[in-house]
Amino acid sequence: MSTSAGSARVRAWEARTEIPLILLAVAFLIAYAWPVLDPSIDRTLEDALTVASWTVWAAFTLDFVVRLALTDERAQYALSHWYDVALIALPMLRPLRLLRLLAFARLLNRGIGRGVAGRVTTYVVGTAVAAVGLGALAVLDVEQDATNSNITTFGDAVWWAATTVTTVGYGDRYPVTTTGRLIAVALMLVGIALVGSITASVAAWFVSAAQGESADR
């Protein structure tokens, strides 16, 4: 009962803070993306955006600490939420904190149909768009000033991210830095998962359609 009560407290806290955290994630996206897309930004504004980024990081840290305090199985909770621990403990992984924006999927889930295929399609589309956009920002951040880089504009980065996520990989754009290549590996894994999800979604749609035709006969 104690564990159940702890889980209920965590769920209640998450329900109250979900929208504020999403808004903070959007604020972080703006603070992170602006200097990346506009390297000539005024230094004072850049410093203000940096402060905003760290403020959001502090808010996410506080959120996790509160959730950890509310649960009864703290060690187990921390292990099952290792990604939160990593993103809080390793602020050097700044681009990965953008993945917090995937919390939008929790809100989308409330507004879509009950069908499994419909949910999968929504998640796949949302994940694909997020992966391309965030991957493009992250790789541009580390590649645009690198020696011999061929990803120097946001357009280049979006094209590269799109071909990587879809597993097409033309090879006309590619990262030359170690961090950029790590981002590429992450996008490749996302792309493989997306292909599997799309295949399963299409198969489920065909099965559902076939069952509907059989029922009408």
Residue ranges of the chain whose pLDDT lies below 50: 1, 101, 103-116
Measured between alpha carbons, how far is 139 from 185 in angstroms, rounded to an integer? 11
Q: 171-179: long-range contacts at Cβ-Cβ below 8 A with a sequence spacing of 24 or more?
A: 174/150, 175/139, 175/142, 175/143, 175/149, 175/151, 176/143, 176/146, 176/147, 176/148, 176/149, 176/150, 177/142, 177/143, 177/146, 177/149, 179/142
Smallest CA-to-CA distance from 207 within 120, 119, 118, 117 is with 117
- pTM confidence score: 0.69
Q: What is the pLDDT of residues 47-100, one digit of tens each?
A: 999 898 888 888 888 988 999 999 988 889 888 888 777 777 766 555 555 555
pLDDT on residue 175: 94
